[in-house]
Structure 1
Amino acid sequence: MLQLSKPDRPIPRLPVFGWDTFSGTKASAMPSVLDAKCVLYTTSGRASIFQALRALNISSASSVLVPTYHCPTMVAPIVALGALPIFCPIDSSGHIPVDSILKLARADTKAIIAPHFFGLPQPMGKLRQWCDENGVALIEDCAHALFGKAGSRNIGAWGDLAIASLTKFLPVSEGGCLICNHTTPGFIALQQHSTISQIKAALDIIEEGARFVAMPGLNYFVNGLFALKRRLRRTSGTPEDPTVRNFMEEKERLGAINPRLADTQMAYACQWIALHAARQRIVSNRRHNYAYLAEALSNSPHFRPLLRQLPRDCAPYVFPLWVEHPDPAYLILRERRIPIFRWDRLWNSTPVIPGDVGKAWSHHVYQLVCHQDLRQEELDLIVANLWELLG
């Protein structure tokens, strides 16, 4: 019987670097945003949004349309440039209806950010047409969707610009990208990390892989080296101030923009992994894990999959689960180190709009991990804890 307390070791929330990273077919039959002709590598998804807005000359004289369901990292770059975010409702499939935009767009509206939530492709045709007719730039948010097709085009090909977050799909310590379909990025000049930062990024990737025992034969040796490094750090120099650390963690969680990182190119080690990781394994494992969770978490009156059946041309970021009474189980699951999360910290000015599901999703939708490096026993443990607390 499964032990429904904290797992023996943390279940990885994101992909983990290991031998399996390069196992199998490098190419995937499913297209990737990384295959676009013009890809600019950044340090994160939020940095990519920041660069996209800056490329479009977004300023204090501009407003930008964004969905009511969001992570603060989507809104923070808009505010950092002095522009006004205007929140649009979403329907039960996560789509931004064009008729709602007609009522909200203003004369100073220069762009709209349209996401593929959870990695599930959203229809973009009508939105693309409206943007063309009204001179509004479409920023296609592919932070949750590194692979797939949305209708007749590849994901990432609908927007004038598109952004992606590589840490959600690849075992890298940092990474985002900006895809330029109709806007030339020649004037965007990103600086390189220092040599020390480049080395640190590579070591962080290896350390994380060893922590989750993803490199059989080397895990013990690598963990020993990094344990020595941490011991030396504690004995040489001033201990880290937990107040400063907690403040920085809170800023990170709320999406604050670090100007230096926003203008820095992704570390070389992360770029190399992004270009050489085996993609077919990523796609097939994520689809398999999603299907397993959909089957295992069905038939309850207290929760349900937000989307039971995956579309054919997508690789999900997470598995969205609608929970009728999400509290206090959510906090208990987090205390047990079960890797679930939700977007319950919306931007302060997010309004209540009739017919909108965004605010309801922020409270009721659990996002469950389904990435390619999960083991079956970890999936079983997630399912068992959910049924115990909610089912």
Structure 2
Amino acid sequence: MLSPNELHPPGQPPSQPRVPLAPLLSLSTFAAPRLPRPACVLDAGAVRLVTSGRIAIALALREMGVGAGDEVLVPAYHSMSMIPPVLSLGAHPVFYKVGADAALDLDDVASKLTAATRAIMVTSYFGIPQDLARIRAFCDLHGLLMLEDCAHCFFGEHGGRPVGSWGDYAIASSMKFFPIYEGGALVSARHALTTGRLSSAGRGFEAKAALNALERSFAYGRLPLVKALLWLPLRLKSALWNMIKRRAPAGAPALTPSSSDSSYDFDPRWLDKQSSRFSRFVVRRASHARIVAQRRANYRFLELACASLPLCRPLFAALPPGACPWLFPLVVEQPEKLFRRLHNAGVPMTRFAEALWPGVDAGVCANSVHLSRHIIAFPCHQALLPEELAWMSGAIREALTA
């Protein structure tokens, strides 16, 4: 296995991060350690596996009966991809405040309730569940439908129940936790899903979803024997995609959803499409116990590595028992300076909610603006090799102490 520096020689910013930002397929993906099976959102109730979390949001709101003129409460600290599904139904997003630790501000939510309020989205950031029991009680008291946003929180539990089971509906983003190119989930613990049978987006979609997931792994030196066996299909891939596009009818959707390429776009033509066969296989067969155990261990490694560093602190004081982190979020005092240093070193990072929906400013929620600007989050996924994790923590330390 090549070291990160051998994969991307130092001296100039690499074309891709030296350490993978997202999970990769490897021989260990399906390894099953002797650990109890962890709770996950798929345990919460009826499930539909779709192509992205934003598609699942639109389906959940549709299941709730949200329509023109309704108001949907959305956290001011958010991914912009959460908003177009609301607008697509003719509803209006109303942004509520979060605390300095991203906890939902129920007092502010209560102040936002009107006769038009139909539902609230509750986001468990970076894999750490909100106080879901308290929020559920609030929703029951006010007759408010609760959409539990588990996009960052595929695994975990709260109050002895799996994440996703507290909302009327829940959504998840499986592509954040599994080595796949696309994937999301719609779940309901309280209602039968009226969303009918979903169909495949076609052979081009099925092939691209599998090959792109494999190529991401090959780019970081994983599965070399598989790469050798697939050298011809991979060389012919561009020609294959061009042929499929030429044969596609005018106005047909892209081969894969825009969410797979980190776009905020929302295309309703994906509402009746299911996740690819490849992605569904990986979600069902990958070792859930290993994913949770390794992510928790990697999170703690980064937590300890950053404990004594200046000008930063973890967003959360501790990793709660049973929680499975998406990323390791670090609150930093000089974000732009640090980001440039880390980017030039090839460190993978996510700045969740760096761009907020137009009009969401400090007057709406000062904490959301601060978090959007000052959090830099680092991968802690299960595919990180020990040497990659050590290199990344060393690069973070160097950037913060330079």
**What is the TM-score of this pair, normalised by structure 1?**
0.89
Q: Which whole-Å CA distance do the structure 1 matches of 2:383 and 2:4 have between them?
A: 20
**CA distance, structure 2, for counterparts of residue 27 and residue 162 of structure 1:** 26
Counterpart position of 2:54: 46
User: Within 2, Cα distance between the matches of 1:251 and 1:105?
Assistant: 34
Give the corresponding residue for 2:282: 273
After TM superposition, list the pairs within 5 Å mapping 1:288-367 onto structure 2: 288-342=297-351, 343-353=353-363, 356-367=366-377
- 1:122 maps onto 2:111 in alignment: no
Q: Which residue of 2 aligns with 1:145?
A: 153
CA distance in 2, matches of 1:16, 1:197: 19
Code of the aligned partner of 1:371 = H
| CA distance in 1: counterparts of 2:106 and 2:272, whole angstroms | 33
Matched residue, 2:249: none
Q: What is the CA distance between 1:312 and its match in structure 2?
A: 0.8
Distance 1:163-1:236 versus aligned 2 partners, 3 A rule: closer
- Once the two structures are superposed, what CA deviation does each residue of 1:346-366 show, in whole Å capped at 9, x if it has no partner? 111214247741110000001
Quickly say closer, same or farther: Cα 1:45–1:228, change in 2 above 3 A. same
1:372 and 2:382 are equivalent in the alignment: yes
CA drift of 1:280 comes to 1.2
In structure 1, C-alpha distance between the alignment counterparts of 2:208 and 2:300, rounded to whole Å:
37
Structure 1 letter corresponding to 2:219 = R
Contact 1:25/1:279, CA 8 A, preserved across alignment: no
The letter for the 1-side match of 2:178 is: L
- Report the CA distance shift for 1:204/1:354 in structure 2 as closer, same or farther (over 3 A): closer
Displacement of 1:153 in angstroms is 2.2
Asked whether the equivalents of residues 145 and 315 of structure 1 are also in contact (C-alpha less than 8 Å), the reply is yes
Residue 105 of structure 1 and its aligned partner are, at CA, apart by 1.5
Q: Deviations over 1:267-300 (max 9, x none)?
A: 1111111111111110111011100000111112
User: How many Å separate the matches in 1 of 2:67 and 2:267?
Assistant: 18
Q: Structure 1 residues 167 and 102 mapped into 2: Cα distance closer, same or farther (>3 Å)?
A: same
CA distance in 2, matches of 1:108, 1:88: 15
Distance 1:169 1:28 in 2: 18
Structure 1 residues 303-312 or 101-110, which shifts more? 303-312
Cα 1:358–1:26 change in 2 (3 A) is farther
AA of the residue aligned to 1:50: A
Which of 192, 198, 216 is the equivalent residue of 1:190? 198
Instruction: In structure 1, give the amino acid aligned to 2:399.
Output: L
Structure-2 residue corresponding to 1:92:
100
Question: How far apart in 2 are the matches of 1:260 and 1:28?
Answer: 39
Distance change (3 Å), C-alpha of 1:298 and 1:130: same
TM (norm. structure 2) is 0.87
- Relative distance call for 1:104 and 1:252 in structure 2 (3 A) is farther
Query: 1:389–1:190: structure 2 CA closer, same or farther, 3 Å change rule?
Result: same
Partner SS, residue 217 of structure 1:
helix
Aligned ranges 1:51-90 → 2 under 5 Å: 51-90=59-98
Q: What runs of 5+ residues in structure 1 fail to find an aligned partner? A: 239-244
Alpha carbons of structure 1 residues 262 and 249: separation in structure 2 relative to 1, 3 Å: closer
Moved more, 24-33 or 333-342: 24-33
Does the Cα contact within 8 Å between 2:31 and 2:287 map onto a contact in 1?
yes
Distance 2:238 2:184 in 1: 28
Q: Aligned partners of 1:200, 1:73: CA distance in 2, in Å?
A: 23
Aligned to 1:327, the other structure's residue is in SS state helix
Percent of residue pairs bearing the same amino acid type: 32
CA RMSD across the alignment: 2.8
Instruction: Name the counterpart of 1:158.
Output: 166
C-alpha distance in structure 2 between counterparts of 1:175 and 1:249, whole Å: 12
Structure 1 residues 236 and 147: alpha-carbon distance in aligned structure 2, compared to 1, 3 A threshold: closer
* AA at the equivalent of 1:158: W
Check 1:110–1:232 CA distance in 2 against 1; reply closer, same or farther (3 A cut). Answer: closer
Distance in 1 (CA, whole Å) between partners of 2:134 and 2:104 is 10
* Partner Cα separation in structure 1 for residue 44 and residue 183 of structure 2: 16
| Alpha-carbon distance between aligned partners in 2 of 1:269 and 1:251, rounded to the nearest angstrom | 15
Q: Is the 8 A contact 2:17 2:348 kept in 1?
A: no
- For 1:341, what is the secondary structure of its paired residue? coil
* Inter-CA distance 183–235: structure 2 relative to 1 (3 Å threshold): closer
Q: Is the 8 A contact 2:44 2:162 kept in 1?
A: no
Cα offset for 1:234? 8.9
**Hey, what's the Cα distance between the residues in 2 that align with 1:112 and 1:290?**
30
State the shift of 1:237 in Å: 10
CA distance in 2 between partners of 1:266 and 1:199 (Å): 12
1:210 is paired with a residue whose SS is helix
- Candidates 92, 100, 107, aligned match of 2:115: 107
Distance 1:295 1:223, change over 3 A: farther
* Change beyond 3 A, Cα 1:306–1:228: same
Corresponding letter in the other structure for 1:265? Q
Task: Please list the CA deviations of residues 78-122 of structure 1 after superposition, one character each: whole Å capped at 9, or x if unmatched.
Answer: 122221111111112322122111111111111000011000111
CA contact (8 A) 1:95 1:122 kept: yes
The amino acid that maps onto 1:193 is: A
Q: Name the CA shift for 1:199/1:381 in 2 (closer, same or farther; >3 Å).
A: same
- Counterpart secondary structure, 1:357: helix
SS at match of 2:138: helix
